[in-house]
Amino acid sequence: MTEGHWWRGAVLYQIYPRSFMDSNGDGIGDLKGVTSKLDHVKSLGVDGIWLSPFFKSPMRDFGYDISDYRAVDPLFGSLADFEALLKAAHDRGLKVIIDQVWSHTSSDHEWFQQSRQDRTNDKADWYVWADPKPDGSPPNNWQAWFGGPAWTWDPRRRQYYLHNFLPTQPDLNFRSADLRAAILDVARFWLALGVDGFRLDVANYYVHDAALRDNPPSGDPAPALPRNMQVHAFNSNQPETLDFIAKVRERVDGFGDNMTVGELAPGSYALMAEYTQGQQRLHTAYSFDFLGAWPGVEKMGDIISQWREGPNDGWPSWAFSNHDVTRVTTRWGEAIGCPPPRAAPLFMALLLSLRGTIFLYQGEELGLPEGDVPFEKLQDPWGIAGWPATKGRDGCRTPMPWKDEILAGFTKAKEPWLPIDPRQRMSAVDKQEKLSESMLHTTRALIELRKQNPALASGSFRVVHASDDLLVFDREHDGDRIQCVFNFGRTEMSRPYEVKPQVLWTSDPVFSGATLMLPPFSAAILKLS
C-alpha cells in the first residue's frame, strides 16, 4: 500500500480454521468452509488473511504441533482444498499469509521419531538434546510456557529433550545446518504454491544458548506460572536467531513482494525493533503489548510512540485480539468498566488508527465478547490443567456466529467442537448486516476510512496527550493532518479547537461550537488540515 509494499499499513484478517466455518458437518471448521466465506472477508475491506495452522497434526495443541509441514490435516481437507482457497482469495484481491510453526514440531513428526532413536542417526542433532546433571536432574532451570520444566527425559537416547511449550512439542535445533536447510525448503514449498508470506510463530525462540546456562530469576512478586519466575535470557532471543531470519527474508523476498510477520513472545519495543530493522530481518513483527491486561492510557501512549520512522527502522504490527487471548471487548472492556456495545467501536477505532500493519481476529468485526465455555466442554489442555485459575484459550476460539440460530450457521453437526455462546449468537453476521449502525458496518466504515486517508494508513505518528483516560494522537501525510481522540473514562470530557475540525468519524461525540464534547467511552477522528 505504501512505499511499494502492499503490507505496510495493510489490514489483515486472522482466520482460525477450526472455528470459522464447517463445510462437511463434522462440527469442525475446514478449508472449504473458509473459502465459502471469503466474500464476507472481502466485504470488510481488508487486504488479506492470516490463516492459522491447517497442517497435519495430532492436535494436542490444535495445530501448533505439526507432524508434517507440507501436508494438510484431513480434518481441514486436502492440499487441493488449500490451493482452491488460495486461488479464490487471490481472485478477490486478498493476500494470504499462513502460519509457520518452526520453533518446534509435534513429537509425532517423523523427524523427531528418527532423532530420538539414538545419538548417531542422520537427524540426531535436529532437536535439542542434552545429558542430565550428575544427580539425574534436567540440564538447567528453563521453564516451559505451559508450566513445569522445559525438559523431558527420553529413555531411548537416555537424554533430555527441550520443549519450550508442551512435552509433545519438542524444540528444533537451529544450530544444525541440515535442519536450517530443511526449514528453508518448507518455506520454498509454500511460496512456490503462491502464498504471500508467513506469520512466524514465536520467532524469537528458534535458537537456544549453546552452553545451556540457567535463566536468571525475574523477581516477579506474584508469578502466575513458573515461567514468569525467570527472565528467558538463554532459551530465547539468541543473536544467532537473526542470522537465520536473514536467510528466511532472502527466501521470502526471492518470490516477490511478500511479507514475514514475527510473533515475538512476550516481546518488547526493543525486541521488535531489533528483529525488524534493515533489509535482512523480518518485514514486521508484533509483541504482546496489547494482547494482555489493559495497559492504561499513559503506558499505551508510550508504547505506540516508541517506533522510529526512518527508512531503515522497523515497521510495527498491532493486534488487540487473537486465538490465544481473551477477546478485547471483554479483557479491556471489563477492566475500564465499558460494556461490549461501547467497547467494541472504541477499541476498533483505536486499532485502525495506529501506524503499522493491523491484524483483526475473526469475530472482532462483530464486537464479540469472550465466549463462555463450561469446564466439561473445554478442549484446551492449558485451560483444563489450570481450571479454575485460568479458563485457557477456548473462550476466544468458539465458533464464528454467522446466523442467529442454535448452531450459529457454523455447522450442521449435532454439536460443534466448542459450544456456541448465546451472547455471541445475538451478534451474528446476518443480524448485523440488517442494522445500519451495527458493529459490522462500523468496522467496514473504519477500514474504508483508513484506506481512503494515507495519513491513517502510513502517515507519521505523534502522541499529543496521554493521561487521565484521554488519548490524543496525530497522523500526518503530505500536509493532511488527522487527529484521533479517545475517551477511555467514565465521565464526559471536552477538547477545544480554535477552528471546528472536519469530522471524519465519530462514535457519538458532538461539538459545542469549536469544542469537542466526548461522552464516556467515545472516540472521534478529525481532519485538522
Q: Dump the DSSP string for 85-150.
A: HHHHHHHTT-EEEEEE--SB--TTSHHHHHHTT-SSSTTTTSB-EEPPPTTS--SS--B-TTSSBS
User: What is the per-residue pLDDT across 430-441, written as a single tens digit (0 to 9) for each?
Assistant: 999 999 999 999
At 224 the pLDDT is 80
Peptide bond into 388 cis (omega under 30): yes
- Note whether 11-106+174-375+433-447 and 460-527 share their fold: no
Percentage of residues in the chain with pLDDT exceeding 90?
91
The confidence band for 1, taking pLDDT boundaries of 50, 70 and 90, is very low
Domain chopping of the chain, boundaries: 11-106+174-375+433-447, 376-426, 460-527
At 46 the pLDDT is 98
At 65 the pLDDT is 98
**Residue from 263, 274, 380, 394 carrying the catalytic annotation:** 263
At 529 the pLDDT is 81
Task: Indicate if 201 belongs to the active site.
Answer: yes
Q: What is the mean pLDDT of residues 107-118?
A: 98
Provide the whole-model pTM: 0.96
At 406 the pLDDT is 95
For residue 54, pLDDT over 70 is answered with: yes
Q: What is the mean pLDDT of residues 360-372?
A: 98
CA 275 – CA 309 distance, rounded (Å): 15
Question: Domain 11-106+174-375+433-447 falls in which CATH fold?
Answer: TIM Barrel (3.20.20)
User: What is the per-residue pLDDT across 252-292, written as a single tens digit (0 to 9) for each?
Assistant: 999 999 999 999 988 788 899 999 999 999 999 988 889 99
Q: What is the mean pLDDT of residues 234-240?
A: 97
Longest dimension (CA), the chain: 80
**Residue from 61, 81, 154, 201 carrying the catalytic annotation:** 201
The two counts, helices (H) then strands (E), for the chain are 15, 21
For residue 207, pLDDT over 90 is answered with: yes
At 267 the pLDDT is 77
- Cα-Cα end-to-end distance for the chain: 23
Task: Indicate if 508 belongs to the active site.
Answer: no
Distances (CA, A) of 374 to 67, 138, 343, 377, 394: 30, 36, 25, 5, 10
Whether residue 425 contacts residue 408, with contact meaning beta carbons closer than 8 Å, is answered with yes
The alpha carbon of residue 66 and the mean position of all alpha carbons in its chain are separated, in whole angstroms, by 18
Average pLDDT over the chain reads 96
User: What is the per-residue pLDDT across 440-463, written as a single tens digit (0 to 9) for each?
Assistant: 999 999 999 999 999 999 999 999
3-state DSSP assignment of residue 241: helix
User: How many CA atoms, within 13 angstroms, populate the side-chain half-sphere of residue 163?
Assistant: 21
Residue spans of alpha helices (H) in 285-324: 297-305
User: Domain 460-527 classified CATH 2.60.40.1180?
Assistant: yes
- Closest to 235 in 3D by CA, of 141, 116, 168, 166: 141
At 309 the pLDDT is 82
Q: What is the mean pLDDT of residues 314-337?
A: 96
At 3 the pLDDT is 54
Q: What is the mean pLDDT of residues 96-103?
A: 98
User: What is the per-residue pLDDT across 4-36, written as a single tens digit (0 to 9) for each?
Assistant: 699 999 999 999 999 999 999 999 999 999 999
3-state DSSP assignment of residue 39: helix
